[in-house]
Chains A and B, each alone.
Chain A
Amino acid sequence: MSVETDRLDQRRDHQAAGTKGPILEEFSYDDAIVRMFSLATVVWAVVALLVGLVVALELVLPQLSAGLEFLAFGRIRPLHTNAAIFAFAGNAVFAAVYYSTQRLCKARMFSDLLSRLHFWGWQAIIVAAAATLPFGITQSKEYAELEWPIDLAIAVVWLGFFGVNFFMTLLRRRERHLYVALWFYIATIVTVTVLHVFNNLVVPLGLFKSIPIYAGVQDAFMQWWYAHNAVAFFLTTPFLGLMYYFLPKAAERPVFSYKLSIVHFWSLVFLYIWAGPHHLHYTALPEWASTLGMVFSVMLWMPSWGGMINGFLTLRGAYHRLTTDPILKFFVVGITFYGMSTFEGPMLSVKSVNALSHYTDWTIAHVHGGALGWNGFMTFGMLYWLLPRIFQTKLWSTKLAEWHFWIGLMGILLYIVPIYIAGLTQGLMWRALDSGGRLANPDFVETVQRLLPFYWLRVLGGAAYFGGVVMLLVNFVATWRTQPAKYEEPVYAAPALGKTYAEPCQQTPQMDGVAPWGEKLAGWASLDWHRRWEGLPVRFTVWVVIAVVVASLFEIIPTFLIRANVPTIASVRPYTPLELAGRDIYVAEGCYNCHSQMIRPILAETKRYGEYSKPGEFIYDHPFQWGSRRIGPDLAREGGRQSALWHLRHFEDPEALTPGSIMPEYAWLLERELNFGTIPDRVQAAAFLGAPYSDEELASAEELAREQARQIGEEIVKQGGPMGMEDKMVVAMVAYLQRLGTDLFAPPPGAAPEAPPAESEGAPTELPETETPVAASENDTDTAQLSTRSSSDD
């Protein structure tokens, strides 16, 4: 801040002396914060990839977790995703923002203190994530798993430290126009704030547990609105900002088309926010919402490829340097993966493709193409460009950077190609029917076993990519060691922005004989107002917020209105206290990472799992547990399929009951005692959120839970199992699993036991005939499998 103070003094001196003309102000950039975020990027890349490698290994060697609960796949997979997104990519984004914003604004960051608070706050959040997720402290929403105290910290650090620092820098800039990279940063900051706040509205139940205020369909909709846009506004828009700044720098030529970048920005911001529902095709989400998500996803092709083409053409005339410059190599491959991912994403959003790809490893391959190729390689390109500049020395080894590039590229291909094949294999095996119309692969584990060779190849690919990042770490440290004893702090000069500045704009055509409103319209059509916005960060930000919020509300409000239209099912009752406790264990163990709870109205699915899921079945599900992939089978209709003892033995040793299973052991569920004392608060919270428990049930929640646990314990003993299970965690899990999907077929309260379930409010009625899955003929599986739901479901 001392340089800033100096320049203010200098300005006063100039004014006192009556100097004419623009007064140059002197300032320096804060590169120390860029060094800090760059180091954090590399360190967390190593951690995230190492955890990813362990996760990948656990899928082929499930015994690797050694029965240790904090190493179980369901607990550390979220650690991998959070570390990759928020620690690795997040710190890379911050390094890019802090370096480029200062130079594009010709101003030091507003506050060095806020920069440091941002840095240390963010690292503390990452450490808090690493300290909670392996211990089952999770909200179970993908990429939003962190519990509410950490969510509050994220809001403070993101908006209070980072956002304030960024926007105040914009306000104190010395460059009139906001370059397009800054637009992308603005969109990132405001949208992530909105997404984070609305997806994390919860009722706290102590420091380490909360329950979302949304349930079932609404919760799923809100979560995927968040998750899709987390990809859009945390992994796409800031990296596009990075691309628009660092690519011209590395290529030493301006961006190919600034006009195209304007269309790219606004189209992307406006379209992306609508696309989330494509993650929920064929689920209990309303048909119109998922169709809207699909249409807008397909339209995303246009701006995405516009941006990709703009990136490639920025390198025109510099392609000859590709042979010798690893930085440009990283950028070219990064942009190529951006193009591939943004082609594939819309394709996967098309319903017929999604019917095959959803829940399979195809999605995992798609995500890793984007994360490793686009985010990873753009970050590496930026870091190799930054290192000599922020450390004021030469890059230690360009040769090692070249090696990093090639081994990293090989790693990506070795990862994604087998996983694409695995995904297609899975999807086709799940839906395959034999000539008699029966499932060709009725045992789920058959499909799992078929994938194991591909999973091994993924481990190899991941290891290669990890090896590349270790090379980066070596290069980083070695370059840092050759830094000068004292960093030079260059001083720059630029005139302050005048308050009366008016950018030259096009003349409104003179129109004789035209009505005044016509002239005004012509003036508006010249869009000088937009040119003015581009120099007004506050107004520009407000319009970005409006674009994002309006687009969100268009989807969110109608979806929440359908709460009144979700067909309630008379037989669907709130969970019992013990089932609620079991559900919390299910959430804590991260079972949703491998098991879905959503049977789509597709013939092969209804044949494999039973009646397709109805929106009314999830009205007490806080949070929803639909999941997004099936490493194991769907559990939506698991209730009553197996005995209590089977579940107990399965938790103890899955492979013993299902040879070939890759599910880890959950033996601790048989050893740990269930904390019955917390159950009453949990039931109260459910009641607070609308579950209709009676006063008696609320008053005696613990006793009810103990009684149900005793019954299950007795059942286990009768079936030949061990005694003394009635106070163990496993009975709660058994209670929950045995309840799943059974309400639909249970008699409604007060009805005869044989009565069919009702789909509407009031008296029970028979299920509409159209809800019966459509049978497929031998040669017509593709079309017949996509049986339609009745309109009442929407």
Chain B
Amino acid sequence: MIKEILTRIDATVSAEAALLLFFVVFIAVSWRAITMSRSASERRANMPLEDGVRRNGHA
């Protein structure tokens, strides 16, 4: 019976479902990026330029 069910499943629907899922995620991520404040964005963008405060040697 399980084999019959599996055989009858229309796998092509997963293509449409995948597309839908992606759009939901994309909209959520875009919304998250848009709503980020400028200060938070700038603070994070600067992170690679801040190695930390040196306690010895050169600054």
Residues of A within 8 A of B (CB): 24, 26, 100, 103-104, 106, 175, 177, 179-181, 244-246, 248-249, 252-260, 262-263, 266-267, 270-271, 274, 286, 288-289, 291-292, 295-296, 299, 488, 490-494, 503, 506, 525-527, 530-531, 547, 550-551, 554-555, 557-559, 561-562, 564-565
Contacts and interface: CB of A to CB of B under 8 A. Distances in A.
Contact of A267 (B26, B41, B57): B26
Contacts of A562: 11
B18 A255 contact: no
Contacts of B9: 558, 561
A490 B54 contact: yes
A494 B33 contact: no
Interface in B15-41: 15, 17-19, 21-22, 25-26, 28-37, 40-41
Nearest to A175: B47
A263 B29 contact: yes
B55 A492 contact: yes
A270 B41 CA distance: 22
Interface size class of B (residues with CB under 8 A): 35 or more
Given A274-B18, A492-B53, A527-B32, A244 B3 contact: no
A530 to B, nearest CB: 5
Contacts of A106: 52
A258 B55 contact: no
A103 B48 CA distance: 8
B53 A258 contact: no
Interface string B38-52: 001111111111011
Nearest to A26: B55
Contacts of A248: 45, 48-49
B24 to A, nearest CB: 10
B45 to A, nearest CB: 4
Contacts of B1: none
Given A263-B29, A263-B33, A100 B48 contact: yes
21 contacts: A103-B51, A177-B47, A246-B48, A254-B49, A263-B29, A266-B29, A267-B26, A270-B26, A274-B22, A288-B15, A289-B15, A292-B18, A490-B55, A490-B56, A492-B54, A527-B35, A531-B40, A550-B21, A554-B14, A555-B14, A565-B7
B21 to A, nearest CB: 8
Nearest to B56: A491
B22 A299 contact: yes
Given A270-B25, A492-B54, A494-B52, 7 more contacts: A258-B36, A274-B22, A493-B52, A494-B53, A525-B31, A527-B28, A527-B31
A179 B18 contact: no
Interface of B: 3, 6-7, 9, 11-12, 14-15, 17-19, 21-22, 25-26, 28-37, 40-49, 51-57
Contact of A181 (B12, B14, B33, B48): B48
Contact of B41 (A259, A266, A490): A259
Nearest to B9: A561
B18 to A, nearest CB: 5
Nearest to B22: A270
Contact of B17 (A26, A104, A554, A565): A554
A244 B21 CA distance: 27
A257 B40 CA distance: 12
A530 B49 CA distance: 24
Contacts of B21: 550, 554
Contacts of B52: 103, 106, 492-494
B35 to A, nearest CB: 6
Contacts of B53: 24, 492-494
A271 to B, nearest CB: 7
A554 B18 CA distance: 7
A175 B49 CA distance: 13
Contacts of A100: 48
B44 A177 contact: yes
A442 B30 CA distance: 53
B13 to A, nearest CB: 9
Contacts of A249: 48-49
Contacts of B51: 103, 492
Contact of A258 (B12, B28, B44): B44
Contact of B35 (A526, A550, A555): A526
Contact of B47 (A104, A288, A289, A530): A104
